[in-house]
């Protein structure tokens, strides 16, 4: 196991569950963080007219997500202290399962090689804050299905899920920072 795993903290969950707002707030508190693969890939593909979009080629989109997550992990190795990840390698497995796509063995190996802290924070579906936008085209029902697929993927990969409370961003930051300080 990577010696960095204990300081690599994943925040996952379906779209529109408040992950990015929480990660932005943690970054303002001085913590390092990764950038979400999905949104960045969509923006880049739209800019260049590329095919790797979830509404065009989900398999290709997931390949780029895996590459992005592995690169984010490698970048984090050169960062001191806790690093918060906006999703992780097991998200790619969950996404493929959600889409009914087979999960290749190399993706499962990637999930075994690129390990994070054993406890993963998962943001539950939250209707009151859910919004669609140019990159987030899923409806709330798909957000719920995504949450379930991600929870199953992380459990299958051997992680313990810690559900984030449906509280303000400031209270979520407090919840997360208390949990990471008390568990290491």
CATH of the domain at 60: 3.40.50.300
> Does residue 1 have a pLDDT over 80?
no
Ranking 1-15, 73-87, 158-172 by mean pLDDT, the lowest is: 1-15
Q: What is the pLDDT of residue 4?
A: 81
> Does residue 86 have a pLDDT over 90?
yes
Q: What is the pLDDT of residue 38?
A: 87
Residue 33: strand, helix, or coil:
strand
Find, among 121, 80, 112, 78, the residue nearest to 93 by Cα: 112
Report the alpha-carbon angle 149-160-23, nearest 5. Answer: 75
Contact by Cβ (8 Å): 94, 153: yes
**What six digits make up the tokens of 139?**
């409806």
d(CA 117, CA 137): 30
Report the alpha-carbon angle 4-5-11, nearest 5. Answer: 125
Q: What is the pLDDT of residue 15?
A: 79
Mean pLDDT for the chain? 91
d(CA 136, CA 15): 7
Q: What is the pLDDT of residue 121?
A: 97
> Does residue 138 have a pLDDT over 80?
no
Residue 71: strand, helix, or coil:
helix
Burial of residue 169 (CB within 10 Å: 0-12, 13-18, 19+) is: middle
User: pTM higher than 0.85, yes or no?
Assistant: yes
d(CA 111, CA 149): 15
Q: What is the pLDDT of residue 169?
A: 94
Find, among 56, 136, 74, 146, the residue nearest to 110 by Cα: 74
Summarised one tens digit per residue, pLDDT across range 37-64 is: 988 999 999 999 999 999 899 999 999 9
What's the number of domains the chain is made of? 1
The residue segments making up the domain with residue 156 are 5-183
For the segment 114-119, the average pLDDT, to the nearest whole number, is 96
d(CA 92, CA 142): 16
């Amino acid at each position: 196991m990577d010696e960095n795993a204990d300081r690599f903290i994943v925040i996952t969950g379906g779209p529109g569950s408040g992950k990015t707002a929480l990660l932005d707030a943690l970054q303002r508190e001085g913590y390092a963080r990764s950038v979400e693969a999905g949104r960045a890939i969509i923006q880049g593909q739209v800019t260049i007219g590329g095919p790797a979009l979830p509404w065009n080629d989900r398999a290709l989109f997931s390949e780029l997500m895996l590459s992005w997550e592995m690169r984010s992990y490698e970048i984090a190795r050169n960062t001191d202290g806790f690093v918060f990840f906006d999703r992780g390698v097991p998200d790619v497995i969950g996404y493929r399962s959600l889409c009914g796509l087979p999960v290749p063995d190399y993706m499962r190996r990637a999930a075994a090689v690129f390990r994070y802290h054993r406890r993963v924070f998962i943001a539950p579906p939250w209707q009151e804050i859910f919004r669609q936008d140019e990159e987030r085209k899923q409806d709330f029902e798909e957000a719920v299905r995504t949450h379930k697929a991600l929870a199953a993927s992380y459990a299958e990969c051997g992680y313990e899920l810690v559900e984030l409370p449906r509280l303000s961003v400031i209270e979520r930051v407090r919840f997360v920072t208390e949990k990471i300080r008390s568990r290491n």
